[in-house]
Copies of this chain bind each other. A is one copy, B any other.
Amino acid sequence: MKAAFDGTTVRCGQDGLTLYDQAGFGRKEGNGLKLAPQEALYLLQRGKIKIDDYDFDKLLAVFAEQPNIVRSYFVYRDLRERGYAVQTGPHDFRVFKRGQRPGKGESLYFIRVISERDPIQFSSIIKEVNTAHNMRKQYVLATVDDENELTYYEIKLQTPPHLEPFPIFPSINGTIVGKSTIIHVPPKSQFEEAWFGSRLDDNRLLLSPFETIYLAGIGDLSLKIDMRIISVEDLIQRAQETDTEFLHKLKVYEDLRKRGYIPKTGYKFGHHFRVYSGQKPHSEMLVHAIEENAEMPMITISRSVRLAHSVKKKMLFGCVYSTGIQYIEFARIKL
């Protein structure tokens, strides 16, 4: 089939409408069909259309001067080869359910195409995912690496459901040592039952900074340094001096504890918390606390997701807003 390229857009004549009707290519325009760059490249490479003076390399080289077209072409091609009908827009593709197509059926995924180096702005991704969910679509990130290999991630907003609350703890005194707190309780105390602290010896349990502040905040723990009573606010102040991330990590810690989850240090997995639900032997999530305006290169998120999945956990980022925590999950998927 003949098509024409005016230096900007590829168009087919009336016979091109079969491409739309049969497989959802292009958008109708007057009596013909207007093709997006990715569609034109795909049809040209497949030999479905011919354009005077332009072979595939030449058309690709022209479109390649527009940002992101090459990577977005590889995603388009991959989706088509997997048997999906794809339309461009709103960001960057709408993918139809298998066997369905524009005009005949509905779309399943909104797909955003990014390169491995692109920064992910959490607040703007959260907005886009929200919009997609409101339209009952799944939100998928298609990432393209330097060798044009593709990886797909489904992004979901999560609200961990409330679990059974923890029992009330007995009042107790603690001694601050550095960033930790020593409390004197025998083994198998109520604190350890709720997975607080690590045992120092038969008399002493050591509470982490988050555990200390959480327990002091709910009023069961009073703290002293060198015989002097110290307030929770002072303790937060001290912790912040050596840890700029402390406050948003604390907010996520408190939120998870209030929901009945058990966050413990995630250091061995390179993230802020590994999180247990109930008394299960293995943690089920890695949670990394981030600020409202945080951004992170996609390759860093890829590392987190790969690690979390390799230890069979979900990868969540806890985005700290003034109104509360928005959890956002990145999960690698196969389309």
Binding site for B on A (CB under 8 A): 45, 56-57, 60-62, 64, 69-71, 116-117, 143, 145-149, 151, 175-180, 182, 198, 201, 204, 206, 208-210, 225-226, 242-243, 245, 264-265, 267-271, 299-304, 306-307, 310-311
Contact = CB atoms under 8 A, between A and B. Distances in A.
Nearest to A151: B268
B306 A269 contact: yes
Given A45-B201, A57-B175, A310-B311, 18 more contacts: A57-B182, A61-B225, A64-B178, A146-B179, A146-B209, A146-B210, A147-B264, A151-B267, A151-B268, A268-B302, A268-B306, A269-B302, A270-B299, A270-B301, A270-B304, A303-B303, A303-B304, A306-B307
Contact of A180 (B148, B178, B182, B269): B148
Nearest to A69: B178
25 contacts: A57-B175, A57-B204, A60-B177, A61-B177, A61-B225, A64-B177, A64-B178, A69-B178, A70-B180, A116-B267, A143-B267, A145-B265, A145-B267, A146-B179, A146-B210, A148-B206, A149-B265, A151-B268, A269-B303, A270-B299, A270-B300, A270-B303, A303-B304, A307-B307, A307-B310
Contact of A147 (B117, B146, B175, B198): B198
